[in-house]
Structure 1
């Protein structure tokens, strides 16, 4: 199974959703402008893919060489860390809203579900691991989504007294007809004051997940 980015969402008009899911060569999310996916299927190519993302974002101007290097190093660390945790994809975003760049990450993890496990049993197990989070469940025409949201204080420091960025973290688990396995999609951004707007965007991206037959994306 491959999860990637797509330019359009949903089932093409006139196509039966069940038949499309059965014929899908991969599944894809729809991202807005300012989102860049770093595939993690080949660990040896992560650095090259991170470099390509940074070039697309920051260009090749000589006066931005230091910024590119720092961004590339940060993205490579994040991508390698996500891959080591079992992620199958990492997406970074930087969207300009006025004079502010809204940034964050999205990581996708496969969730192996034991044979014979019922959906309610799985959801109860996931919910039980989300102590302190705001948990919501949504039933879809072709499956389900469970969301858990946590946020840190806007101002805080680590054990050494160094300032730590706040964090809004939204974790989604979703099962869709024809998609194996269940996916865990984790978003993180320091823009806690924009919680409502960010969650609305994250919801839309998770709900955009759809089957794609190669050549129709």
Structure 2
């Protein structure tokens, strides 16, 4: 499935398998999409009604939190290989970085690595990697979070360890950073998941980059 980033058509990427886009800016459309996701996950059986309700509540909270954090694209995976479910989410954000990017990608990479050191203080120390893909500098960090609560009633889903992988990509010819954050409750599959997430990030393209005037300064032009 090829997906275009919501709103601005700034970037495209390929999501293998079955993913559902959850609209963040439209409450009614978001509610409908989350209800569809609950049906895909738990079916229509009456005995799973409480699980569907809990699932909808969890997704709604996560979607609202993503929107409040400035995300403009949010996706839920149901399965990557037919018949093999995989609970995973992808959050896409475009933002102005605190670092001053330039046309020199070697310099941009050093700046991103410096930025990563601040995230490492918050536990983002797993699976470090960086590269240059299609004119964009990419940096990756991951974090595994232990469950923080227990099931309190039938409308609360059991918590599990969460494995989150974040990728920071410079947008060619712009001063913005695109962030792709993948989350899953299957940290034991991290090796295979990293291959999957890396493949999605490697498919990222910036269609406007060939025609967009370069607004970034040369080194030293501040």
Q: TM-score, normalised by structure 2?
A: 0.69
Instruction: Name the CA distance, whole Å, in 1 between partners of 2:167 and 2:100.
Output: 22
Instruction: Name the CA distance, whole Å, in 2 between partners of 1:36 and 1:161.
Output: 27
Change (3 A) 1:116 1:101: closer
RMSD (CA atoms): 3.5
Instruction: Name the CA distance, whole Å, in 1 between partners of 2:198 and 2:136.
Output: 15
The answer on whether the counterparts of 2:172 and 2:206 sit within 8 Å (CA) in structure 1 is no
Q: CA deviation at 1:106?
A: 1.3
Instruction: Name the CA distance, whole Å, in 2 between partners of 1:41 and 1:180.
Output: 24
Instruction: Name the CA distance, whole Å, in 2 between partners of 1:88 and 1:71.
Output: 22
Q: Using CA pairs below 8 Å that are at least 6 residues apart, which structure has the higher relative contact order?
A: 1
**2:14 corresponds to:** 30
The answer on whether the counterparts of 2:3 and 2:12 sit within 8 Å (CA) in structure 1 is no
1:76 aligns with 2:76: no
**1:11 corresponds to:** none
Q: CA deviation at 1:98?
A: 8.8
**1:146 corresponds to:** 139
The answer on whether the counterparts of 1:58 and 1:64 sit within 8 Å (CA) in structure 2 is no
Change (3 A) 1:86 1:181: same
Aligned match for 2:191, one of 193, 196, 210: 196
The answer on whether the counterparts of 1:150 and 1:168 sit within 8 Å (CA) in structure 2 is yes
Unaligned residue ranges in structure 1 (runs of 5+): 9-23
Change (3 A) 1:59 1:28: farther
Q: Which moved more, 1:137-146 or 1:174-183?
A: 174-183
The answer on whether the counterparts of 2:22 and 2:30 sit within 8 Å (CA) in structure 1 is yes
3-state SS in 2 of match to 1:145: strand
Per-residue CA deviation, residues 129-186 of structure 1 (Å, 9 max, x unaligned), is 223413211122411110002224xxx6647798741121111101132566211111
The answer on whether the counterparts of 1:38 and 1:49 sit within 8 Å (CA) in structure 2 is yes
**2:214 corresponds to:** none
Unaligned residue ranges in structure 2 (runs of 5+): 103-107, 153-157, 209-222
The answer on whether the counterparts of 1:43 and 1:83 sit within 8 Å (CA) in structure 2 is no
Aligned residue pairs, count: 190
Q: Which moved more, 1:66-75 or 1:191-200?
A: 66-75
Instruction: Name the CA distance, whole Å, in 2 between partners of 1:145 and 1:48.
Output: 34
3-state SS in 2 of match to 1:129: helix
Where is the strand percentage greater, Structure 1 or Structure 2?
Answer: 1
**1:51 corresponds to:** 35
